[in-house]
Structure 1
Amino acid sequence: MFFRAQNLGPIRDAEIDLSKDLVVLAGPNNSGKTYIAWSVYGLHRSRPALNVVLDRWVRQLLESPEHAIDLGDLFAQGEGALLESIATEYKSKLHLCFAAESTYFSAVNVSLRDVDLLKRSGPIAHISGLAATLGISALRTHGPGSTRIGWTILVDDHFKTFFNAMKEGAPTPAELQAATTSALTTLATEHRKSLEGDLSSGLQSLVYSVLFPHCTIFPAERIAVNIFAKELALKRTELVDELVDADLDDQSSAPLELVRRKAGRYPWPIRDSLKTANDLANLSKEKGPFAALADELESAVLGGEIAVSEAGEMLFSLRGETDRRLQMHLTASVVKSLSSLVFYFRYLARRGDFIIVDEPELNLHPDNQRKLTRILAKAVGLGFKVMISTHSDFVLRELNHLIMLSKLPEGEAQALGYDPRFALDPKRLGVYLFNEQHAYPVPVEETGFSIKTIDDVVSQLNADEQRLYARLSD
């Protein structure tokens, strides 16, 4: 899918292909890279209502004999309306993503086009009777990546009867259809209205899960987030206390005015990062399926281990010194920069997630920039989508190495010191140069790609070195 933004901050026009597995944003400072990264995050986070667009498909779920729809048909026939509705609604919320006044974004235009998934047949979505105390109608999908996406509680005797029958054995698809049709035939009007609303919400969730995978962003402000999250949470708590104690007859202390003066306004990427940082104890109860990436990041880059205390505080210990754990403000800058990414991979990451990392090179020595680039490439190979915004020649050159790696036999890659799992398919990369108020697509060849603004600086640096060396040699 292509995301296009016009008149967004310093950007006059930029279109990014979000279907790529790895998207690289490069270019000078103040050229709009963060604007695009945050806007893409907001697009995935914001889920406007699509009820009007989906009404027809909800009716088909309820009224067709099979109580089913092909999601490929839904996307193919509704592409224009779906994408236009999403883009229009998101534009109206864009200022919230940036915590800015709406007038600042009044000239912005956002559009979406060409969803690759629309060209392929989708899985089947259907409703069917399922077991529950009062009976449940569920919207489910069957096909690649199938997932249950919504539940609706129905007080209906047909479902009670069907629930009892299910105890005797698994129903066939025909029995499911028959039971659902029977239940819908006598469903009270108020229950049918409720069901229509819930099915619309469930179908909307499915549409969004197909178009916009779960997205996590690591903004350039992540070091401050990791250090000051608790203090900022305390400030918010104190504000709530002050609101509770406010004299509502005193207009100078009216609640809304207090919020405006004292709460502070945070863009969605920072607000969501703060929310995660203040819920570490709850989120770290069970390791996820990609904890090995966290282990590799700790071993290769940090040289130690990240842990979470019972109080929900992130701690760090050097390798072999787990009895001496440092609070985050006492750690090296590399730990502050990457601790949230370690936590994400260990506890929160799920296959198919979309990860946005603003300036992955932040506070990293060149060798660690290369190591982190390899780990992010491995995440791409494991099924993640990744977007990075970078100024680092070390990151970009390592990406080129990993692109060339994809053309080498496995044995040769290992002989050169590379894990073949780091390899990047050049066809699955989208690279963009932000310059002069536009984002220009950069060709990606089998040997990699070139970012002119960075290459020009490197060439000038080498030329200056040669001139200075020649003068000293005279």
Structure 2
Amino acid sequence: MKISIRNLGAVREAEIDLKPLTVFVGPNSTGKTWTAYVLSGIFGPYGFRNYLNESNIDHILDEYPVLNEIFQQVNSRKSANINLIEFTDQYGEAHLNKVIAYAKEWMPRFLGTNRCVFDELIVSIHLAEAKGKLLETLRREVFTRSLSSTRSLKEKDQELMYFYSESDNTEENIAEVKTSQDLPSSVVKRFLLESVFQPMHRSLFPDTYVFPTERPGFVTFPLDRTFVSKDPVQRAVSSSGELLDQSSDVTKDPVVIVPVAIPIYTFYRMISKVYTLSARTSLLRGSAATKEYTRLAQLLEKEILSGGVQFSAPEPQLGRELLFRTTNDINLEIPVASSMVKEITPLVLYLRYLARLGDLLVIDEPEMNLHPAAQVRMIEFLALLVNAGLNVLITTHSSYMVDHLANLMKAAATNNPKKYENLFFLERTEAFIPQDQVSVYLFQDGTATSILSAEGEINWRTFSNVSDKISDIFFALPLPEEDEVADA
């Protein structure tokens, strides 16, 4: 899937081939994080919701006569259907580009800025080989929605989506039908458009999760109290994605609303949601894929954290704490645990409670707070996630991670990968990743350049130039005895 981006902050023009594992490298302030964030906004629910605003609904229906016809039938309480696969095949890419075209309008809110403008931002998408996978997933999955007594349903391994009314002669259903008939047409239109287009988006990526660089701080918040509180003044984050200034004396001063970037807000909501889940939630996640993600969470704890992440109580309750259990069976509150624990805990929680096959993870600098040995373990672990069906996009300044990624691709290309398993840190061939599943981009000089060669080498100089400079300085300085002679 190729995404073209123009005029996004430091990025004048770039084309990104989004692969199951996509890596952004380069100097600071070259546009890596903004690019990663705009992709998360486009493929996550935020971009679609902004596209489907009330003022745009009639215009969208006018663009698709087949949907306008279905609306007339549904609004008259008649049954209707649409071949969702054919519709997506014909209009899917054009629809996604229309959604993306609205990015220039929502980017200031998305990034939490009042000072940056994005009037010249241009983003476009070309599905390419991803189109086949999109249609295959769309055909395989079940999608259903309801609006009062009106239902939409696409069954497993079927192409048609049906719109129909469920009713009988009971007083309850007669009242429901009347309520449905009284619904504003705009509500019915939104229901129709969400029923048709949301499966398309979820077939690309069921959900998108951003792990911002602020994550170690947020994971220390007492989110159990925040989540159960009914007093909006006591909430740390409002439903509109804005932080409440807790320094205000709410008994005397008005509450101060501070805009916060949507990726940070949604990360906060993700961690908050986990606090409301039962310990049995991870055990009840039934598919083979979700069970594998639970196993991977345990592997992450064992091989990188060297300890376990757990709640102080199995069920949601006031005062429930997130704890880190050391190898010596000592329980520590997360705020007093190491920076590495704060860094990795959110990923453990995501895998244990939320991960679904096909999700997109956007991780800003996964090497933060990690020793070099942990960094190379982390890139092996991220490759494990990709091979388990997740999509991962990272920004990084870690030469260890990027250089070791080349090893993982080289090992995957060998005739007998098992032979080389013990050379690696996690000692698992599942961490070996084929080159065609990887893209690596160097952000520099206003663009992003692919630096992964056909031979599997990652050709970057952004770190080696610094290393060379350090060596040059060392050898340019005199030895102590030479310095004494020079002074004499």
Q: Is TM > 0.5 for Structure 1 vs Structure 2?
A: yes
Unaligned runs of 5+ in 2: 174-179, 239-248, 314-318, 484-488
Shift of 1:415: 4.6
Shift of 1:300: 0.8
Q: 1:204 aligns with which of 184, 197, 210?
A: 197
Task: Check if 1:337 corresponds to 2:368.
Answer: no
Tell me what 1:429 maps to: 438
Q: TM-score scaled by structure 1? A: 0.77
Q: 1:155 aligns with which of 161, 164, 167?
A: 167
Q: 2:360 aligns with which of 346, 354, 367?
A: 354
Tell me what 1:438 maps to: 447
What amino acid maps onto 1:426 in structure 2?
Q
Secondary structure of 1:4 counterpart = strand
What amino acid maps onto 1:307 in structure 2?
Q
- Please give the alpha-carbon distance, in whole angstroms, between the structure 2 residues aligned to 1:277 and 1:456: 39
- Note if contact 2:143-2:155 (Cα within 8 Å) is conserved in structure 1: no
Tell me what 2:27 maps to: 28
Tell me what 1:315 maps to: 323
User: Higher mean Cα deviation, 106-115 or 289-298?
Assistant: 106-115
- Please give the alpha-carbon distance, in whole angstroms, between the structure 1 residues aligned to 2:181 and 2:221: 53
Q: 1:270 aligns with which of 257, 264, 267?
A: 264
Measured against aligned partners, the alpha-carbon deviations of 1:231-274 in whole angstroms (never above 9, x if no partner) come to 99599943689x9xxxxxxxxx9xxx945xx1222101111122
Tell me what 2:105 maps to: 92
- Please give the alpha-carbon distance, in whole angstroms, between the structure 2 residues aligned to 1:56 and 1:228: 50
What amino acid maps onto 1:40 in structure 2?
L
- Note if contact 2:93-2:127 (Cα within 8 Å) is conserved in structure 1: no
Measured against aligned partners, the alpha-carbon deviations of 1:74-102 in whole angstroms (never above 9, x if no partner) come to 23322454133201223211111111127
Tell me what 1:451 maps to: 460
- Please give the alpha-carbon distance, in whole angstroms, between the structure 1 residues aligned to 2:388 and 2:232: 40
Shift of 1:156: 5.6
User: Identity rate of aligned residues, in percent?
Assistant: 24
Shift of 1:467: 5.2
What amino acid maps onto 1:16 in structure 2?
I
Matches within 5 A, 1:171-186: none
- Please give the alpha-carbon distance, in whole angstroms, between the structure 2 residues aligned to 1:129 and 1:314: 35
Secondary structure of 1:213 counterpart = coil
Tell me what 2:124 maps to: 111
What amino acid maps onto 1:357 in structure 2?
I
Tell me what 1:291 maps to: 294
Q: How many residue pairs are counted as aligned between the two chains?
A: 428
Measured against aligned partners, the alpha-carbon deviations of 1:106-147 in whole angstroms (never above 9, x if no partner) come to 3322333335344575555999999x9x97633214439x9x
- Please give the alpha-carbon distance, in whole angstroms, between the structure 2 residues aligned to 1:104 and 1:128: 37
Task: Check if 1:143 corresponds to 2:149.
Answer: no
- Note if contact 2:24-2:395 (Cα within 8 Å) is conserved in structure 1: yes
Secondary structure of 1:14 counterpart = strand
Secondary structure of 1:453 counterpart = coil
Tell me what 2:15 maps to: 15
Shift of 1:59: 5.7
Shift of 1:153: 5.6
- Please give the alpha-carbon distance, in whole angstroms, between the structure 2 residues aligned to 1:283 and 1:86: 33
Tell me what 1:397 maps to: 403
Unaligned runs of 5+ in 1: 162-187, 244-252
Task: Check if 1:238 corresponds to 2:227.
Answer: no
Shift of 1:228: 3.7
Q: TM-score scaled by structure 2? A: 0.75
Tell me what 2:305 maps to: 302
CA-based RMSD: 4.2
Shift of 1:473: 9.3
